[in-house]
Amino acid sequence: MRQSPVSYAALLVDLDGTLMSTDTVSPRVAAAVGRVAALIPVSIATGRRSSDVINYARRLGLTAPQISNGGATLLDPASGEILWNRALPESRARQIVEWVDARAVNFIATHPCGDVTAPADIVHWDLTRISAMDLPESQADELAASFATAPDLNVVKVYLHYNGWWAVDFTGAGVNKGAAAGQLAQRLAVEPSRFIAAGDSFNDLPMLEVCGLRIVMGAAPPELKAIADYIAPAVEDDGLAVAIEELVLPALLAN
């Protein structure tokens, strides 16, 4: 673990697989997050849609800007106002929707006013993120490979802890949780190196790389563990709470 005199300015926390393993945040994790939120801003950073982020942020009493859509959206959890948003290129969005529709793959396409789950319901193509859902890993690999060389896309394969399937998230090039952390840092007038980040999957890697203190969950891939300052127990064992109690709070209270 690195030793640093940094005064940490915010905690960024992935949702599925980090903050919770199912749809409910455990009492111990909620209490630990609340203790941190009393000291510094806490932001959920997730691939989920904005409405989900607002819901969980409000349950946890979080008031700082929150990150949704894989880093494509920064929003105010109290008002629901979008503070920053980046859309997919329309031509690519159409190609992705055509791919998943031809194979009868479930998907969620989000835009500033909500989300849709059927091609016929897409009226405007200012889509922020498209997530192909509930895929076997082989099909997730096939889909990701189909668009991997597109220069105007960010493509990430994500494990879905709540059902054991996989998803593939599409956002615009350069749009990821790390970029969103940079937008949040600008709003807080600090450097991202003063952030603490916690995650468990490949879409958390850009966020972990730009933040100054890195917490990685026990079930995370080796690529994430290789850059971790602290490897937490499994999410099912309230690993985030353990990390907060053993690492985050002592670091905050020491400054």
For 222, list phi and psi in degrees, rounded to 5. -60, -35
Q: Are residues 160 and 191 in the same domain?
A: no
User: In this predicted structure, what is the pLDDT of residue 170?
Assistant: 94
User: In this predicted structure, what is the pLDDT of residue 228?
Assistant: 98
The number of domains in the chain is: 2
Q: Are residues 192 and 154 in the same domain?
A: no
Nearest to 69, CA basis, from 217, 168, 171, 208: 171
Compute how many other C-beta atoms are within 10 angstroms of the C-beta atom of residue 233.
15
User: In this predicted structure, what is the pLDDT of residue 215?
Assistant: 98
Q: Are residues 94 and 167 in the same domain?
A: yes
User: In this predicted structure, what is the pLDDT of residue 3?
Assistant: 46
In a domain, 166, yes or no: yes
Identify the segments of the chain with pLDDT beneath 50.
Answer: 1-4
Residue-range definition of the domain harbouring residue 117: 90-172
User: In this predicted structure, what is the pLDDT of residue 5?
Assistant: 59
Q: Are residues 77 and 181 in the same domain?
A: yes
Does residue 125 contact residue 90 with C-beta atoms inside 8 Å? yes
